[in-house]
Amino acid sequence: MKKRYVAVIGVLFISGLQNIRDICAQDLTVDQIVEKANLAAYYGGDEGRSKVKMTITDKQGRTRVREFVILRKNIVKGGEQKFYVYFQAPPDVRDMVYMVWKHIGKDDDRWLYLPALDLVKRVAASDKRSSFVGSHFVYEDVSGRSIHDDTHEIVESSDKFYKLKNTPKDTNSVEFSYYFIWIDKNTFLPDKAEYYDKQNKLYRTVEAKETKTIQGIPTVTVSKVTDLNTGGFTESVFSNVEYNIGITEDIFTERYLRRPPKKWLN
């Protein structure tokens, strides 16, 4: 009986070790997690379109609204992309266009068309962390920060989330010293991000307030950015989201900054 008991314990021990090895084999490296999160957040489908209502609230509770349409086309999955953002309201920004050619390994190309001046302005790489049309989002939030601009490490892993610490490789190009991001283990969508300034003080948060599955693709439909220094925040609500609708690459050119492609904006 004693020998049988020892044998059973031995089998259980070996089985336990095998389970641990199986679990470890399923674990992802930090680079794999970051790549999957990047694909989930910015590369759903081959292309996409959505309407956005952005509400900007200051610390006094006063609000301003921006309404626009975002068109996106993947040139290379996980790599080159193009974005076209057309503003519909209010009147002071109507017909304004923001366009991005997202690159890997070099700075993105960004243009802003200002209809009141009939002016096409290049957005400098140094401005990518500045306010996007007066909101608490920054230009870089629209097309996403390159995963190659930061070093990444896993600091925590729970049943639901990976928590990563991300540190910029070029600290002089950004206003933060590092940021944490929580990535949903089921969808790989970023759930929350916390940004810390040069004095290691939390000053900015980005949250996915609502997600839905659209055409089989997990999609953030409400996002919120809060500036903890000023007390203001901006919430974006995404509607009429569609994927794989046949958006052509030719609309992501300078000629369409002045001539919006109405077919894709209605």
User: If you search the block for the tokens 């809060």, which residue do you land on?
Assistant: 226
The CA distance from 175 to 157, in Å, is 27
Taking the domains of the chain in order of start, what are their residue ranges?
44-264
pTM for this model (two decimals): 0.87
The CA distance from 209 to 213, in Å, is 14
The CA distance from 261 to 247, in Å, is 10
| CB environment 27-62: b (16+ within 10 A), e (fewer) | eeebeebbebbbebbbbbbebbbbbbebbbbeeeee
Mean pLDDT of the residues in the chain = 91
User: If you search the block for the tokens 């509400």, which residue do you land on?
Assistant: 55
The CA distance from 235 to 250, in Å, is 31
**Short-list 95, 98, 97, 87, CA closest to 65:** 87
Per-residue pLDDT of the chain (266 residues; tens, 9 = 90+): 444 444 444 444 444 444 433 333 358 999 999 999 999 999 999 999 999 999 999 999 999 999 999 999 999 999 999 999 999 999 999 999 999 999 988 999 999 999 999 999 999 988 999 999 999 999 999 999 999 999 999 999 999 999 999 999 999 989 999 999 999 999 999 999 999 999 999 999 999 999 999 999 999 999 999 999 999 999 999 999 999 999 999 999 999 999 999 999 98
- Assign a CATH topology to domain 44-264: outer membrane lipoprotein receptor (LolB), chain A (2.50.20)
3-state SS, residue 58:
coil
Residues 6+ apart with CB under 8 A from 205: 192, 193, 194, 195, 225, 226, 228
pLDDT tens digits, one per residue of 117-138:
999 999 998 899 999 999 999 9
